[in-house]
Amino acid sequence: QLQLVESGGGSVQPGGSLRLSCAASGFTRLYYAIGWFRQAPGKERERVSCISSNGDNTHYADAVKGRFTTSRDSAKNTIYLHMSSLEPEDTAVYYCAALMSESVVGGILRCGMPFGSWGQGTQVTVSS
């Protein structure tokens, strides 16, 4: 059974950087597109990025475009979210999830809905 565990969160000042990790287990190799999501207090969970199963394509929400980068290390079955130029608005619990589908249309990655149970997530707090 696929299990994803997030780590790497913490407290940083505005303008700082963090790298989150999403470690997958339960499969010899992770053949799913993976999405990173976040949920701030009082707000709905939103997707901030996704990466294709082969790692060749990524997509980012407008709010994080140019500041966040997602990558994957297939040998380690781990997906990363590199976050830079962090803002107080990025404060949230961050989650990763396997996605039900993926497609590339006109060079743009389209990611499907997440499936499975949500993990504990990892808290990111940006404040001065």
- 23-52: pLDDT as tens digits: 998 776 778 999 999 999 999 999 999 999
Residue with tokens 């939103």: 46
Helix (H) or strand (E) run with residue 60 in it: strand 58-60
Q: 86: which residues sit within 8 A by CB, 6+ positions away?
A: 12, 14, 15, 16, 17, 18, 67, 124, 126
Q: In the structure encoding, which two tokens stand for residue 72, read together? A: 């994957």
CA angle 71, 76, 81 (to 5 degrees): 25
- pLDDT bin (cut points 50, 70, 90) of residue 89 is very high
Percent of the chain with pLDDT over 70: 98
User: Taking residues 52-63, what's their average pLDDT?
Assistant: 96
